[in-house]
Amino acid sequence: MSIDGATPSPTPHRLGVHLVDGGAVVGVYAGHATQVDLCLFDEADAEVRLPLFGPTAGVWHAFVPGIGEGQRYGFRAHGPWAPKKGHRYNPAKPAP
């Protein structure tokens, strides 16, 4: 699979990863994040990180060409580590 990069999603309000013609539309809510990466993993667990666009009303989003059924993925969210405020962003740990 060849990933040329992400472009802004035409529907940033749609949450989740949804297959569409030619790839996938991705949307994840992370209202206090400073950056969110979509992480794609191959059979050897090699990781490709694609930064999402946003936030748009707290949603980070993209259209990612070339993604198909069975693609393994996760997210890495960057932002404040302030557990007392409910912020637990840690880009070192990918979230499913």
- CATH for 33: 2.60.40.10
Tens digit of each residue's pLDDT (9 = 90 or more) over 33-83? 999 999 999 999 999 999 999 999 999 999 999 999 999 999 999 998 888
**Can you list the alpha helix ranges (DSSP code H) found in 10-57?**
none
Q: What is the pLDDT of residue 96?
A: 65
Using the predicted structure, report yes or no on whether residue 85 has a pLDDT greater than 50.
Answer: yes
Please check whether residue 84 lies inside any domain of the structure. yes
Confidence of residue 6 (pLDDT cuts 50, 70, 90): confident
In sequence order, the 6+-apart residues with CB closer than 8 A to the CB of 30 are 36, 55, 58, 60, 77, 79, 89
CA 63 to CA 53: how far, in whole Å? 10
User: Tell me, what DSSP letter sits at residue 52?
Assistant: P
Residue 27 has pLDDT above 50, yes or no: yes
Q: How many domains does the chain have?
A: 1
What is the span of the domain harbouring residue 50? 16-88
Does the pLDDT at position 95 exceed 90? no
